[in-house]
Chains A and B, each alone.
Chain A
Amino acid sequence: MPTQSLKGSLLSNPFGLGLLVALFFVFGPAPALQSQEKPYFITYSQDLEEPGNLEIESKTTLGQPEDANRFGAMNVEFEYGVLAWWTTELYLDGQTTADESTLFTGFRLENRFRPLMREHFINPVIYVEYEDINGADKMLLEVVGHDGQADLSEPNDEARKEQKHEAELKLILSSNVKDWNISENFIAEKNLNHSPWEFGYAAGVTRPLRSLASAKPCAFCLEKFIAGVEAYGGLGDTDSLTLADTSHYIAPIIGWQLPRGRLSFSPGFGLTSTSLDRVYRIGLSFEINQFGSYFRAGKGGA
């Protein structure tokens, strides 16, 4: 493909533009910094953003419902550490479906709080989220109630007409045992338009491939890689609190700690007939060191 047309197609397509932004974050000039969070896509651990830091992360979800078009959903997350026990986050979601359209599907605002100031064997985190998304959102950032393939099969021009204002609560329980992280999330979601409460779960385990850090800087050392697995799915709703017609997934995950962020990948496998057969996720994050200090004159920036 000629250079000019490649550049044109990258810039005219939102996913191409996202790729360019991501490449700039990874290879562009910026202070080196490593995020401390795990490479989970769905599960949350006790890790919060370091106070004052801003993490920008792009996540992509690829899948194909049965008898429907392939889709690629992408979001950008801005995660800011307000305090050591409080992290706030804004998500902007979009998707493109083959032979249909590309569209912005909405935003989410979330806050995570650690109510206990000390480290315990199990560390609770309270998660509160407000979502303003439409029915065409395909990020699958949580699977609740009786969510299934059918929700992802509706054509974009129909699905986008449904506007969802949802509140989501999660109880995150997480433990760091030796070098392992074990996290469990209990999810309750309510569409504020008189829909029933929907429930779901996510659980994950991760571990770095090596515990000791190398004495010299390196990008491909084993300690830079974190591997694990996560499982997630729906648990019905208050009208039908049953596992019938619910989706469940199991997904190995691998994360690579880059000099300026993290690259992660997860192939997910559906476990029930209502689940997608396969869902692939790719994440790329970049962290800005002490972002908050840029706005506090005279306090000595980063």
Chain B
Amino acid sequence: MKLRLYFLVVIFLAATCAVLAASSSRWDHVPAKDHARANPLAGSPDSVSAGELIYRDHCLQCHKENAAGDGHKKPALRSPRMRSATDGDIEWFLRQGDLGHGMPSWSNLPQAQRWQLVTYLRSIQ
């Protein structure tokens, strides 16, 4: 009887964690300092072009042409989720990656190139 009760409690906690994880936005984890960070290259036409080249070199293979994603694990980058993010959120996410879900960290790109990529991603929303 006691064992069954423990089992039910564990199931309940696991389900609660899963629901909480699913309902929280990816951007909720971004530190306030990074969230508020402004893109120094925002709106620059050269940065859009350079960002597109960076996208082609590094992101296209997974996120596909027009950032449409592959319909499976590699998400579209023209999405309400992207539109809800600040430039700082996106730069932070590029730097961090999400290794557990297949997204490499792009901390090895110079920061200026990450901002150029953010500028391009903004331009296609």
A interface residues (Cβ-Cβ under 8 A, vs B): 31-34, 36-38, 45-48, 50-53, 83-85, 114, 117-119, 176, 178-179, 181, 208, 211-217, 223, 289-290, 299-300, 302
Contact = CB atoms under 8 A, between A and B. Distances in A.
B110 A211 contact: yes
Interface string B12-52: 00000000000000000000000000000000011101110
A302 B107 CA distance: 24
Contact of A36 (B49, B56, B58, B95): B58
Interface string B60-72: 0110000000111
B77 interface: no
Contacts of A181: 108
Given A117-B99, A117-B100, A179 B110 contact: yes
Interface of B: 45-47, 49-51, 53-54, 56-58, 61-62, 70-72, 95-113, 116
18 contacts: A31-B61, A33-B61, A34-B57, A36-B108, A46-B107, A50-B61, A50-B104, A84-B103, A85-B99, A114-B99, A176-B108, A211-B111, A212-B50, A212-B112, A213-B50, A213-B113, A290-B62, A302-B61
A117 B113 contact: no
Contacts of B45: 215
A85 B104 CA distance: 8
Contacts of B58: 34, 36
A289 B61 contact: yes
Nearest to A114: B99
Per CB-CB distance, the 7 closest pairs between chain A and chain B, nearest first, are A215-B49, A211-B110, A211-B112, A213-B50, A84-B99, A85-B99, A215-B46
Nearest to B49: A215
A224 to B, nearest CB: 11
A212 B114 CA distance: 9
Nearest to A116: B99
A84 B104 contact: yes
Nearest to A179: B110
Nearest to A36: B108
Given A47-B108, A117-B99, 8 more contacts: A33-B61, A36-B58, A52-B61, A85-B99, A119-B97, A213-B116, A214-B53, A215-B46
